[in-house]
Chain A
Amino acid sequence: MIEIINIILFPLALIIFFQNHLFAKLLKKRFGKENSHFDYYILNLFIILNLILLVSLFNFDIEFTIIIISIYFILVNIFNFNFKIISKFIFSLLILIIIFQVLSIYIVANPDLGWDGKFHWYKKALNFYQNMGFENLSNLPKYEYPHFGVYLWAFFWSINPLNFEYFGRLFYLFLYLLSIFSIVDLLNNKNLKLILFITLSLITFNFNHFTGNQDILVFSFVIFLSRYLYLIYEKKEQTLFNLILFILINNIILWIKYECIVYVILSYSMLLIYKLFKKDYKYFLLIFFSFLFTLIFKLSISQFYQINLNASFQFSGEYDLFKLFDINLFFYKFYIIFKYYFFSLFKNPVILIGYISLALILLQKIKISLTNVFLFILFNLSSFLIFYIIQIDFEWHVAYGIDRHILQYSGFSILFLVVFFNKIFKN
């Protein structure tokens, strides 16, 4: 019974935890009425996540991280807490909480982990939960993988009174639902927002995504990113606020999984090229230096903690670089990757909906930013690149890995559904 009570209180605690009434006040003065309270909520969410990331890199105990975040929460909310902000979104919050409860009960009733969850993700989370530090990660499998996803798992594992590991995974569920909410929030038709939120969150939910794998985290963060890419490219709102969110979200994505560096490079590159093409140099230097800093920071930390960035399952011993340029092998690999990619599309309703929406947009000649379309195509091509370089047990890795890889960026395609519906269902 105590578990049920904790599960009921958990989303309420998270919603209050990520409130920031000081920002809401200050940013409203700075940015005026351009941004909704939901934007300020997301901003605070990513400030806290970046703060947790920063503290985690100092190798402090997780209890210290909890103290730092608690101090931050008290400082920004004391004297500023205002229930009016929550009451404005009470109906939406209620729906989110109900959906969260239904799905979290499902996960908690079946708390077993997935294959990779048992193989290495759980132990990495345990590593941080037991304050073993970065050094101990090199004793675990897949040591080259970034740590932040499991650090969040350990953080929410530690912070709950029952100290059950699944609360870390329930935080992944919270981010998943919030990210879907963030993208459907862009719909002009208010009634459609909740209907689409409920539909998307229920039809795309897959229990296996919450069994310890990090791909669902990448999925959620890519959706958050797509919200701001929509505002930047579709609505042409290249405000400082949106760019700050762009930078903060990319910085978090980079620290979740090994292959996320590709998404970060692609999203920054597209933005920089777009700005150059449009001859819009406002905030160009900010974006450029943020890009450099994000990558250099990641490499520096890896160097400092002596984390070998070579993928342990491929680049140990047998790797032959010349085989990458073998033309016969190229066609064979392309065929295998395309075959499994095609079958995976039917296992992922999100990307299928995205492709259908994109097709309808093009057929109906609805105006859409080509930058977003190019970025989506490049994300898909990244699957080919990432699997192409695999040499050891190539077909096995493609067959069992491509589903999860497509999941990571599939959330981006919900943007096309939003564009389509905004055209069809005008307010």
Chain B
Amino acid sequence: MITYLLEMKFKNLNINYKKPKGIVLILFILFMTILVSFDFFKNVFSIIKYNKDERIIRNSKFCEGDSQGFVSYLNKNYNFGTNPILLNNTISPLSDWIYFDFKKEQSKSELILLNYEETQTIKTEFKNSRFIARKLPPLLREIKGINISFEDELNIDKTFVVNLYKVQNKKKENLTSNQVLLKKGLNNKFIDLSLNDSEGRKLRSYEIEIKPFKKGMIKNVNLIINNQIKLSDYQIIEKKQNCYFLRKND
């Protein structure tokens, strides 16, 4: 049937249709190339072997990024009577679509918390004589402090001015300025700020300026932050790595 159709079609191309075998062979090779390049056989196998929900989580990490593996695990093992609130402490797509149901009410007590630590250390990158902290957790509540590590121990007492700026939408705002005395022999200093900064855009960044700045003196600068959710306010129903299923304590 296919050979007949091809013969009828290729008459117009003025190809010697008495030799369709060669053309059919070329077309077959092209067709197989297309199938292989689109992983056709692998995908058919995947559809037959795994059900839809398994296929969704196969390319996701269990408790990293969107953590669909964990959410799917909860959906399978817990019969959600309501829609638990889902909060992800990384900038990732929301995974609540896996269980969301408009016919169910939004839960007031159940919470799925992904990639969460109550206190986090944010590493900074050095650029233009400043230390910049980007990709901040969305649930940031407070800047607990700044941790400065030096390459070598200080050989004398030294006073530094440490400025912290918040940068969002191309605007820079000075949050705090501290004069810090570092004693001789120190190679590490924690500056306590306890600065509440839960408001702000997700894409904001923080810049730490240390004056006087000498190249090669500072090893790294980290921002220590506290996040919004206090785990002690909740009962932990399920915990896998940094992913939690919580129920609010009455």
A interface residues with partner B (beta carbon < 8 Å) = 1, 3-4, 90-91, 94, 102-103, 105-106, 108-115, 118-119, 122-123, 126-127, 130, 132, 136, 164, 166, 190-191, 202, 318, 391-394, 396
A105 and B9 contact, Cβ closer than 8 Å, known pairs A119-B94, A164-B52 = no
CB of B102 within 8 A of CB of A102, answer: no
CB of B95 within 8 A of CB of A3, answer: no
A94, A109, A118, A132: which contacts B47 (Cβ < 8 A)?
A109
**Contacts A112-B56, A127-B102 known; 19 new A-B pairs at CB < 8 A:** A1-B48, A105-B47, A112-B60, A113-B93, A114-B93, A115-B93, A118-B66, A118-B94, A118-B97, A119-B93, A119-B94, A123-B100, A126-B102, A191-B9, A191-B12, A391-B169, A392-B169, A392-B201, A393-B201
The 6 A-B pairs with the shortest beta carbon distances in the complex, nearest first, are: A109-B43, A118-B93, A115-B93, A109-B46, A105-B43, A130-B102
Contacts of B12 in A (CB 8 A): 190-191
Contacts of B9 in A (CB 8 A): 91, 191
Q: Can you identify 24 A-B contacts, CB atoms within 8 angstroms?
A: A4-B44, A102-B38, A106-B38, A109-B39, A109-B42, A109-B44, A109-B47, A110-B55, A112-B60, A112-B68, A113-B93, A113-B97, A114-B93, A118-B66, A118-B94, A119-B94, A122-B97, A123-B100, A126-B97, A126-B102, A164-B52, A191-B13, A393-B201, A396-B203
Q: How far is the CA of A111 from the CA of B52 in the complex (A)?
A: 7
A105, A110, A123, A394: which contacts B97 (Cβ < 8 A)?
A123
Find residues 95-131 in chain B having any chain A CB closer than 8 Å to their own CB: 95, 97, 100-103
For A105, A119, A123, A391, the residue with the greatest tally of chain B CB atoms inside 10 Å of its CB is A105
B interface residues with partner A (beta carbon < 8 Å) = 5, 9, 12-13, 34-35, 38-40, 42-44, 46-48, 52, 55-56, 59-60, 66, 68, 93-95, 97, 100-103, 169-170, 201, 203
Q: How far is the CA of A103 from the CA of B12 in the complex (A)?
A: 29
Q: Give min CB distance, A349 to chain B, whole Å.
A: 15
Contacts of A119 in B (CB 8 A): 93-94
Say what secondary structure dominates the interface of chain A. helix
Contacts of A114 in B (CB 8 A): 93
Contacts of B5 in A (CB 8 A): 90-91, 94
Q: Give min CB distance, B193 to chain A, whole Å.
A: 26
- Look across to chain B and name the residue whose beta carbon is closest to the beta carbon of A139: B102
A90, A112, A123: which contacts B59 (Cβ < 8 A)?
A112
Contacts of A166 in B (CB 8 A): 52
Q: Give min CB distance, A417 to chain B, whole Å.
A: 21
Q: How far is the CA of A164 from the CA of B52 in the complex (A)?
A: 9
Q: Give min CB distance, A279 to chain B, whole Å.
A: 42
Q: How far is the CA of A3 from the CA of B43 in the complex (A)?
A: 12
CB of B102 within 8 A of CB of A132, answer: yes
CB of A109 within 8 A of CB of B201, answer: no
- Look across to chain A and name the residue whose beta carbon is closest to the beta carbon of B13: A191
B42, B47, B94, B169: which contacts A108 (Cβ < 8 A)?
B47
- Look across to chain B and name the residue whose beta carbon is closest to the beta carbon of A318: B169
Q: Give min CB distance, B237 to chain A, whole Å.
A: 24
A110 and B59 contact, Cβ closer than 8 Å, known pairs A4-B48, A102-B34, A130-B103 = yes
Q: How far is the CA of A126 from the CA of B203 in the complex (A)?
A: 29
Q: Give min CB distance, B205 to chain A, whole Å.
A: 12
- Look across to chain B and name the residue whose beta carbon is closest to the beta carbon of A118: B93
For A108, A112, A391, the residue with the greatest tally of chain B CB atoms inside 10 Å of its CB is A112
Contacts of B100 in A (CB 8 A): 123, 126
Q: How far is the CA of A123 from the CA of B86 in the complex (A)?
A: 14
Q: How far is the CA of A393 from the CA of B171 in the complex (A)?
A: 11
Q: How far is the CA of A166 from the CA of B51 in the complex (A)?
A: 13
Contacts of B44 in A (CB 8 A): 4, 105, 109
Contacts of A4 in B (CB 8 A): 44, 47-48
Q: Give min CB distance, A52 to chain B, whole Å.
A: 21
Q: How far is the CA of A133 from the CA of B203 in the complex (A)?
A: 33
CB of A108 within 8 A of CB of B103, answer: no
CB of B55 within 8 A of CB of A109, answer: yes
Q: How far is the CA of A114 from the CA of B203 in the complex (A)?
A: 20
- Look across to chain A and name the residue whose beta carbon is closest to the beta carbon of B10: A191
Q: How far is the CA of A325 from the CA of B150 in the complex (A)?
A: 48
- Look across to chain A and name the residue whose beta carbon is closest to the beta carbon of B68: A112
Q: How far is the CA of A118 from the CA of B100 in the complex (A)?
A: 11
Q: Give min CB distance, B143 to chain A, whole Å.
A: 22
A105, A126, A130, A392: which contacts B40 (Cβ < 8 A)?
A105
- Look across to chain A and name the residue whose beta carbon is closest to the beta carbon of B31: A98
Q: Give min CB distance, B179 to chain A, whole Å.
A: 34
Q: How far is the CA of A132 from the CA of B100 in the complex (A)?
A: 13
Contacts of A396 in B (CB 8 A): 203
Contacts of B48 in A (CB 8 A): 1, 4
CB of A202 within 8 A of CB of B34, answer: yes
Q: Give min CB distance, B28 to chain A, whole Å.
A: 13
Q: How far is the CA of A126 from the CA of B5 in the complex (A)?
A: 44
